[in-house]
Amino acid sequence: MKKRPEKNKRSAELMISLEEILVRQNRVIISLLAKQVYGEEKIKGIVKKDKKKRPEAYVEGYNACDGSKGVNDLARVIGVTPGTLSPILQDWENKGIVYDIGNSGKPLYVKLVNLE
C-alpha cells in the first residue's frame, strides 16, 4: 500500500505548526519566569553594566537576541566587534539572561524579555 504524498505533506505541516506553537509557549513561560525571578530592571542593569560607552546600544543588541542572529549580526547592531561582544554574550548566558539555541559552530542567542 502506497502512502499518499498529500497526507504526508499535511502531517509535516501540522508537525511544524505544533513545533512552532511549543517554541512560542516555551518563550512565553521563560519570559514570565524571568520577570518573576529577575525583573526587567535587573536584566537591564546587567546588560548596561561595565561602564559601556553606549549602554543603550547594548539594550538594542539584547533585544535583537531572537535566536536568528549570530554574534556577527548582534555586534553590528551594537556597533562593536564580534571579539568584543562574544565574551559579553557568554557572560549574559552564564548569568541566565540569554540562552543559546545554536550549535558550537554558530551560537544563536535568545533573550528572556524585551527591554524598553
Q: How many domains does the chain have?
A: 1
Residue 66 lies in a domain: yes
Give the integer Cα–Cα distance in Å for 7 and 75: 44
Residue 63 lies in a domain: yes
Residue 21 lies in a domain: yes
CATH number of the domain that 64 lies in? 1.10.10
What's 58's DSSP letter?
A: H
Determine the pLDDT at residue 28. Answer: 85
Residue 36 lies in a domain: yes
Residue 48 lies in a domain: yes
Residue 30 lies in a domain: yes
Determine the pLDDT at residue 53. Answer: 86
Residue 43 lies in a domain: yes
pLDDT in tens, the chain (116 residues): 555 556 677 676 666 788 888 888 888 888 788 778 888 999 999 999 866 789 999 999 999 999 999 999 999 999 999 999 999 999 999 988 999 999 878 999 999 999 98
Determine the pLDDT at residue 2. Answer: 53
Determine the pLDDT at residue 3. Answer: 55
Give the integer Cα–Cα distance in Å for 107 and 74: 11
Determine the pLDDT at residue 55. Answer: 93
Residue type, 111: K
Of the CA atoms within 13 Å of residue 82, those in its CB half-sphere come to 7
Determine the pLDDT at residue 51. Answer: 66
Domain hosting residue 95, numbered range: 5-111
Residue 116 lies in a domain: no
Determine the pLDDT at residue 30. Answer: 83
Of the CA atoms within 13 Å of residue 6, those in its CB half-sphere come to 0
Determine the pLDDT at residue 4. Answer: 57
